[in-house]
Structure 1
Amino acid sequence: MSQENMKFEEMGLRNEVLKGIKEMGFVSPSPVQSQAIPIALQGDDLIAQAQTGTGKTAAFAIPILNQIEKNREIEALVITPTRELAMQISDEVFKLGKFLRIKTVCVYGGQSIRRQCELLENNPQVLVATPGRLLDHLKNDRIPNFSPKVVVLDESDEMLDMGFLDDVEEIFSYLPSNRQTLLFSATMPEQIQKLAHKILDKPKYVKITPANITNTDITQKCYVINEGHRDEAIVRLMDVFTPQKSIIFTSTKKEADALAERLVEAKYKAGALHGDMDQRARMDSIRAFKANKVNILVATDVAARGLDISDVSHVFNYHIPLNPESYVHRIGRTGRAGKKGMAITLITPLEFKELKRIQDEVKHSLELEELPVYEVSHNELVQKILKTKIADEAMDIYNELMDKHDETNSALKLISYILKEGTKSKIGPNQQEINRLQEQEKKPKQDYNSRRREGGNSRFGSQRDSHSRGFRGNSRGGRRY
């Protein structure tokens, strides 16, 4: 039987581990689990490339638990970049090891060192840690007899992005050479490959590509907008789709704060989540989101990595992600646990090529659509008018209208103006313009250049130039280029 079709019961796992798997509700292994678990059980070092949300925590937790001997020292170490992810991994290992009575300890910065030392003295079998705090413990000899048999590096590329790679290399100078090392990463940049070469011994490889994990339960949409209309487009989409719970991914921390503030001003329950927030503020945002005190989380990739929230109905990409891996990681926050989800990406005409690269990689067609028009119902309009604060200059306009019309006519004209201008306004190009821009994008550059040489005012050339001016804006403004 191939590994892809292997069941948990056929992997040679201990009964207590199988009971823990069943208790967690796992029915059959995910692709990364079916490929990685047998390799890890054999004792081989492993490099596994897989996105967040593919079940990789269990892919390393299950083989770790299967070989736990419950000695009086730490048997396994998991290093992960963020506090949130460390806590989630510790919780999942604890639950999977329920019938083995496994003790886990989670250590990270911002927590009492004395309290962590007390927990470490309680003879845990599994230690989950962030790099900075772990290195601090090791340098100060706070972990006696530290010789883990298995070491896991989780979200390795994220540790690179967060500047932890030097700490990770130093941590490995404290670890035994006869260990088993498992490295998990969503992407494999050159620096991670060099690190793997240093710390792993003849590793086996597993790669779960985006094409393997694109979820058919997720409806994927792309809306074409002008660069300066991103905030307005997000508010429009919230009005149109009324998502139960959604995450909006931004490229920068500044964008996350500004957009969350804009949504709050628009009377939405929104909160921000990014790396510049202190630990308490980040945890408050996550708890509020999980408890439905806010139902829109505006987050950067770093902050949202590892979030385990199963009831997200919509994911929004404020900008098109920089690579296919990020796209798959982001949209994987919805459509979980058998539920349907929707992923929406905002894109400008100048980003069509970036979108094509993502489509080619994930093997999924992403149709470009015009932003939907939101039509306010009469009842909604009445409620909005009643809740509107009266502006200082409103009385001047009212008096001027009364000089020219009676009260009834003035009110009807005002309502008609709102209906025409305020409830059915267009954002971005229409579908006909989008289709034309797509066709122009497909034409070879030499065809465009030859047309310009033949006549600068050709129909094709003039259309392309006029639309480039019309939709360009400052396409890279606000992005992290």
Structure 2
Amino acid sequence: MSASNSSPTFADLGVAVEICEALAASGITRTFAIQELTLPLALDGTDLIGQARTGMGKTLGFGVPLLDRVFDSADVEELDGTPRALVIVPTRELAVQVGEDLERAATKIPVRLTTIYGGRPYEEQIAALKEGVDVVVGTPGRLIDLYNRGELQLDRVSILVLDEADEMLDLGFLPDIEKVLRALSHQHQTMLFSATMPGPIITLARSFLTKPVHIRAEEVDAAQTHSSTRQVIFQAHRMDKAAVTARLLQAEGRGRTIVFTRTKRTAAEVANELASRGFAVAAVHGDMGQPAREKSLTAFRQGTVDILVATDVAARGIDIDDVTHVINYQTPDDPMTYVHRIGRTGRAGNSGTAVTLVGYDELAKWQAINDELKLDLPEPPKWFSTSPEFSEALGIPDSAGPNVGPAKKALGGVAVHGTRPNRGRQQRR
């Protein structure tokens, strides 16, 4: 991740030398816009709402001041093994990613971090808390479980962060967030960060923040999608989508790629289909156990596979700068999901391509996204896997075929349980 040479350094903005040295060891010295704008306020303990596009440095925008204040701030109680900072995120994958980013920034300071999320044994997380921890990163459900059991102390938390706050304050997570807020009745700093902050969410947020400053790292009327991401949208027949995707994956310059689906079943099926055509592919979806999901994500990060087929559970948890292509195999359900999906490419100054395959039955859904984001493409062209316009638009060579090699096995591409009815057939025992 790199920032402009004209941007101030973290040291310029008063960040502790030890944290600056740890960041420099990872090649990070200068700030992104959201970091430059939020750091002076966050370091001072101000409540804030930070808004910047996906991939523009939000994690360090809250993570660096959080670590700095826990490490050495007069208004944060001396560390005693109970949490001083709590970061809440919507998904397990994002919890892991944020935890890793904070660990890297904290390598030279005596601040202990732990990451807590579902799908892992309670025992190891309880053991970490008993051993003593200063910063906790976690998902709402598991955090509340451990709090209710008396294993997670929140009465000394000085800093609360909601990452992807728009989702955290939506109906699904709100009851758990309200429980956390009730536990944090004492004075503390609260920071909310997200790529999108709809008006109703901001109104709700202001009800539990103290004189918050709302910071946007771009103009108020700026487009919600990256200018560095080229968007290609066309109508594709449902029966042709697999062939379209196979050819698309042979486009010139195609590197690491994420294929998004709406359903768990489709994710597993698409992963299996692409693997059968010879592609190195892994899947991440909600019917996989946490160890299997982590195995797929690790393989993708390390380059063992270069294609990840994912449901939206992964859209907010993959922080990899060099994803060249995102493919919306199924049209997202709403505009904000579209923004978050395609925000996986074109990150941190890199360029990227986001391709959306609009099924004939998905046109109304696409038109709602188009209208909200002002994309000026209400009726995308109809292209097939054999259409010359398709190949020309995406740089697909004439040599691209339906397969690229012998069939492989997809990581996580097993059939999803409970999705096919038995239709009355007698099952063999």
CA distance in 1, matches of 2:404, 2:61: 52
Name the residue aligned to 1:317. 328
2:64 to 46, 62, 66: 62
1:138 to 119, 124, 147: 147
Give the alignment of 1:64-213 within 5 angstroms. Answer: 64-68=66-70, 69=72, 71-72=79-80, 73-144=82-153, 146-159=155-168, 163-189=172-198, 192-193=201-202, 195-208=204-217, 211=222
SS of alignment partner, residue 184 of structure 1: strand
Name the residue aligned to 1:449. none
Counterpart residue type for residue 79 of structure 1: I
Residue 296 of structure 1 and its aligned partner are, at CA, apart by 1.4
Give the alignment of 1:1-40 within 5 angstroms. Answer: 6-40=8-42
Residue 203 of structure 1 and its aligned partner are, at CA, apart by 1.1
What percent of counterpart residues are identical?
A: 37
Question: Is the 2:115–2:137 Cα contact (8 Å) retained in structure 1?
Answer: yes
2:51 matches 1:49: yes
TM value normalised by structure 2: 0.77
Counterpart residue type for residue 176 of structure 2: D
Name the residue aligned to 1:341. 352
Residue 305 of structure 1 and its aligned partner are, at CA, apart by 1.2
CA distance in 2, matches of 1:152, 1:375: 47
Question: Is the 2:262–2:312 Cα contact (8 Å) retained in structure 1?
Answer: yes
Q: CA RMSD in A?
A: 3.5
CA distance in 2, matches of 1:15, 1:56: 21
2:287 matches 1:276: yes
Name the residue aligned to 1:261. 272
CA distance in 2, matches of 1:11, 1:242: 38
1:360 to 374, 398, 408: 374
Counterpart residue type for residue 345 of structure 1: T
CA distance in 2, matches of 1:166, 1:377: 54
Residue 215 of structure 1 and its aligned partner are, at CA, apart by 4.4
SS of alignment partner, residue 293 of structure 1: coil
2:268 matches 1:237: no
2:310 matches 1:296: no
CA distance in 2, matches of 1:80, 1:87: 10
Q: Measured at CA, do residues 178 and 359 of structure 1 come closer, stay the same or move farther in structure 2, by a change above 3 Å?
A: closer
Q: Measured at CA, do residues 375 and 13 of structure 1 come closer, stay the same or move farther in structure 2, by a change above 3 Å?
A: closer
Count of aligned pairs: 381
Counterpart residue type for residue 41 of structure 1: L
Residue 160 of structure 1 and its aligned partner are, at CA, apart by 5.0
SS of alignment partner, residue 372 of structure 1: helix
Higher relative contact order (CA 8 A, sep 6+): 2
Counterpart residue type for residue 201 of structure 1: T
Structure 2: which 5+ residue stretches go unaligned?
A: 1-5, 73-77, 384-388, 408-429
CA distance in 1, matches of 2:171, 2:95: 15
SS of alignment partner, residue 81 of structure 1: coil
Residue 325 of structure 1 and its aligned partner are, at CA, apart by 3.9
SS of alignment partner, residue 344 of structure 2: coil
CA distance in 2, matches of 1:213, 1:18: 31
Q: Measured at CA, do residues 166 and 286 of structure 1 come closer, stay the same or move farther in structure 2, by a change above 3 Å?
A: same
TM value normalised by structure 1: 0.69
Question: Is the 1:273–1:304 Cα contact (8 Å) retained in structure 2?
Answer: no
Q: Measured at CA, do residues 381 and 45 of structure 1 come closer, stay the same or move farther in structure 2, by a change above 3 Å?
A: closer
Question: Is the 2:53–2:225 Cα contact (8 Å) retained in structure 1?
Answer: no
SS of alignment partner, residue 108 of structure 2: helix
Counterpart residue type for residue 374 of structure 2: D
Question: Is the 1:187–1:325 Cα contact (8 Å) retained in structure 2?
Answer: yes
Residue 124 of structure 1 and its aligned partner are, at CA, apart by 2.1
Residue 27 of structure 1 and its aligned partner are, at CA, apart by 3.5
Larger radius of gyration: 1
